[in-house]
Every structure is written in C-alpha cells, then in structure tokens.
Structure 1
C-alpha cells in the first residue's frame, strides 16, 4: 500500500516532466525548421533580383537563423522552469562587451553592409578607393579585395572605403579618355589637329560616335596645349590611355610638328670696362 502511494506521489511530476520534454522537443524541431525556412527565404530574395547582392542576403539569412534559434532556446529552457531573464541579461552584457572589444571589426561590418546595399562597385570593376587602384575580385562583409595590374592582392578594410571618395572606372559603358598634347607656337594648329584626328580615327578602340573632342585648351609659356578626349568602351579605357600618346608622338614627328619642352633663353652680355 505504501509503495503504491509513493508511485502515485511522483507520477504527476514524471508526467509533467515527460510532457515538458516532449513539448521542448517539438518546440526545438519546429524552431529549427522555422530558422532554416527564414534563412532560405531571405537568401532566395537576394538570388531572385540581380540588383541585390547575394553576400549581403546570405549574411542576413544567417542572422535571421541565429535570432530564431536564440528565441527557440529560450522557449525550450522556459519549458523546464529555467528563469531566462537573467540569461538574456547575461547575453546582453556579453554582447556589449564583445562589441566594445571588436569595435574595429564592427565598423568594418557596418561599412560592408552599406557597401553591399548601395553597391558603388561590384566584382570585376576597376576602382580607386582608400588610395588604392585595382580590379575588384571579392567583396565580403569585412573587406574588399583588389588585384593590381602587376598581380598584387590588396585587402582593404571596408571601413577605410566607406565614407571616402570611390572612383568606379567601370560604372559607365562608355568612357572619355582625357589627354593633353602640346605643340610649338610656330606649328600650324589645324595641321596638328588633323594629325591627332587621324591617329584617333585609325585606332581600333576609339569610337566614332560620340566623336573625339580635340580643342586648344591652354596657351602655355612654350607650347600650345590641346585637350584631347576620345571615347571608348569601358573595357578599352586603359588600352586607349596608354597607347594613343605614343601614336600621337610618332605621327607628329612624321608631320614635322614640334613638340616643345620647357626651355630658357640665356643672354650673355659682354661688359667692357
């Protein structure tokens, strides 16, 4: 009789514990499913639209997943009577301490989020940023990686890029390439212009439309300076920039048009006593 009484005494507690365990398992399973579902939905939004960055939405998906799992963990602990208020306060304090310790990393993260939202550049673009120039090979949450023409890899923290001037050389399909050429004052300006026009007309990467801009810009001390702006596809910008000056120099030499250089005239006066 006493043994039956003891069993009956602990039976409700055992049932309550088993019920809480089953509910905790159900909450955990549903929570994991919801966390994965929320992550997939956010990631798929980034994949659905070309103007949205996959990296950013993968990050947001991971954040959403862990946030849901955190709430699931709190709900599971509540089923077992654990006071979660102190745990939440402890996690908040720990998060604050970690945030203060990782201020630099957090600033890079915040800058990375802004770069991925506004997308001033993307992988494959040539940019000037943080005093560096190169081809963007990777943009992640903390850094931007550039490859220079001489095959160096430059890793720039995003906080050094965001908020500073960013020059994206690949943003527009067409590019104007500004150049300056000087001829001597005794040279025929129309002849010099014709020589430059022919060089640009024969260049395979210079576009006919829009037409190149060739005009006298400055009358310097020893030269008449032309501003020359041919237009090309963005991919051909550096080819035009570094090939046209040599071609113009050779063409002006063949036409016997002098390209002057700064010089001084010195007059010697012979003073006799």
Structure 2
C-alpha cells in the first residue's frame, strides 16, 4: 500500500487539482496586470482626445478619463472572478447582497462620487481656478471621482474630498474675469487729506493695468481713533490682482514719504507723575 504522505504519492493525488488552479492563478495575474495597464492607457487616451475637442474643457476631460478608468477596472475585477469559476450572474447576486454592507461602510466614498458628479454638472470651479473650499485655498490641479486636488500658494498638495468641497461655501477667486483691488491708507489728522487723495489717485491712474471703467474710487471713508482712512478701489483683470495691489502699496508708501504724508502706527505714551509734596 502506498504511503499517502510520500511526496510522490501526494503530488500524484494533488496534481489534478493544483495544476488547473495554478494555471488559473497565473491567468488571473496576467489579466489583472494587462487590465490595469489598459485602464490607464484608455483613461489617458480619453483625456487626450477630450482635450482636443474645443467643446470639452480640461476639467471634463479629467473626469471622463477617471470614469473610463474605473469602469475598466470594474470589468477586470469581474473577469478575474470568472477565471476562478464565479459567473457574472453569481457575481451580480453576491454584489446585490453586499450592496447594503458596502453602502454603509463606504458612505463617505459614495458621497464623494455623487459630489464629484455635482461638481461636473454645476461647475462651481474648474482646473486652474484659484478657490477656497473646506477651509483650504489653492489652485485646482485635478478633479477626480473622489477628490479635488489643490496646490497652495507655497505649492503644498492638498486633497479635499469632493463631499466636503461641495457641501461648504466655495470662494472662486477666478470665477470672474475682473476683480476689484481694495487698499486703505491711514494718514495723520494733521496731514492734508486732499493732497493724500491726489497722490493715491495719480498712482492708480498711472498704472496701465488698472481699468478705466469702472473709474477708480479714492475717498475718505473713516475717521479712526488715530488716523484718517482713505480707501482706494480699482478694477483690474483677475490675473493682475496681486501684482497691482502690491505695486500700489509700495508706490503710495514711497510717495507719502517724499511728500511728507505720515502713516500713523500704534504707540504708547508714558506719563510720569511727580509724587505729591508733603
């Protein structure tokens, strides 16, 4: 009688099962590797072709590419299960039975997908817009099914879940072509208000980036505790906003210094009382 623990006997008894299973495992691995590569290739292809279409902007191109990629990955997962004998109908039945559990455990993920669709439909922002959402400000670099990727001004990559981005207040600083540059200057009460207003107005009107319509506004807007506040409001193309604002601040300060206009700053006055005479 053959010893069942003999390696040769054990191999002869298990080989009819191990060989087909091993072939299936190798086939499944090859299917997954090829499937993921195809998903990535088709996703990139959809993005490139969408970007060539003038009616589809980069935001939608990225979103379509993400949809195609995930759809192919799902198809690869189903095909891989079929390699192991799990039929598509059985898979659908199992998937239906697990839907509730998956839905409860992945409420956040499902919410992000739904929010991603809403972002695509309502378009509160698009690629390259500078926005503030979920307490984070930055330039939109990518919008996927699950998250919006921002780059902060100091180039930190921030991933904001779509559900958080869409549920809160969104400030899109790139939403309109024009922006208003508001700068307020405080001058001393003893200084000439008209002279200071004239200086600010000349500097603003001399800047070619400042739009003529609407006309720049320069007026006294407040009499503070230690200063007369002069507000300037000028309209510029959105992309020129920060450059114009920084230039106005610098040039007005330099002009005030030349013309003897002082800018008050907080200071403390020390009063010493002589002791009372006995």
User: Normalized against structure 1, the TM-score is what?
Assistant: 0.69
The one of 172, 175, 179 equivalent to 2:176 is 172
Paired residues of 2:63 and 2:143 also in contact (CA < 8 A)? no
Structure 1 window deviating more from structure 2 (122-131 vs 198-207): it is 198-207
What's the CA shift string for 1:55-113, capped at 9, x where partnerless? 4455667899999x9xxx9xxxxxxxx9x6x7654321222222222222112112111
Equivalent residue runs for 1:17-56 within 5 Å: 49-50=55-56, 53-56=60-63
CA distance in 1, matches of 2:119, 2:169: 13
Say which of 140, 149, 160 aligns to 1:145.
149
* Residue number among 187, 193, 204 corresponding to 2:197 in the alignment: 193
Q: Separation in 1 of the partners of 2:111 and 2:180?
A: 36
2:204 aligns to what SS in structure 1? helix
Structure-2 change in CA distance of 1:183 and 1:234 (3 Å)? same
Provide runs of 4+ in structure 1 moved above 4 Å.
47-52, 55-67, 86-89
Higher-Rg structure is 1
Do 1:127 and 1:136's aligned partners in 2 also have CA atoms closer than 8 Å?
yes
- Superposed CA RMSD in Å reads 3.2
**In structure 2, do the counterparts of structure 1 residues 183 and 48 end up closer, same or farther at CA, with 3 Å as the change threshold?**
closer
Counterpart contact for 1:56–1:117, Cα < 8 Å: no
CA–CA distance in 2 between the matches of 1:178 and 1:164?
A: 26
Q: Distance in 2 between the 1:154 and 1:62 partners?
A: 23
Gaps of 5+ in 2: 1-45, 80-86
* 1:245 is the counterpart of 2:252: no
Task: Determine if contact 2:188/2:228 at 8 Å carries over to the other structure.
Answer: yes
SS of 1:178's equivalent? strand
- Pair 1:111 & 2:110 matched: no
1:194-213 C-alpha deviation (Å, 9 max, x unpaired): 01011112223222222211
Q: Tell me how far apart the structure 2 counterparts of residues 59 and 151 of structure 1 sit (CA, whole Å).
A: 24
**Aligned mates of 2:71, 2:172 — CA distance in 1:** 32
Matched, 1:231 2:235: yes
TM-score (norm: length of structure 2): 0.68
- The answer for unaligned runs of 5 or more in structure 1 is 1-39, 74-81
Deviation at 1:268, TM superposition (A): 2.9
SS of the residue corresponding to residue 228 of structure 1 reads strand
Q: Distance in 1 between matches of 2:223 and 2:119?
A: 44
